[in-house]
Amino acid sequence: MSIICDRGGTRIKGTTIETIQDFVNIINAVRVSLEDEMDPEDAAGIMEQCGRLAYATGDKNTEAEAAAFREITDLLLKNGKM
């Protein structure tokens, strides 16, 4: 196991290949979970905004971060998830 999430924290431990495989598995699991609960296009939109949010947070780009949060919130509201 290379990506370990527990109580809001995340550790990466393992080889590069293991980390990439875990990352892909996590992305797929989240996508499937979202698609089980909402329109697949909206689920894809949330996945896209999560990627943008991750990059914005890493770059400390608060404007892009806020825009991604707004889009995620709008999609969740549209699907009755908030």
pTM for the predicted model, two decimal places: 0.80
CA distances in angstroms from 44 to 30, 35, 72, 75, listed in the order given: 10, 8, 11, 10
pLDDT value of residue 58 = 77
User: Residue ranges of the chain with pLDDT lower than 50?
Assistant: none
Q: What is the tens place of the pLDDT at every residue in 10-26?
A: 899 999 999 999 999 99
Reported as half-sphere exposure (CB side, CA atoms, 13 A), residue 32 has a value of: 6
Residue-level pLDDT at 57: 85
Assign residue 5 a region (left: φ > 0; alpha: ψ between -120 and 50; beta: otherwise). beta
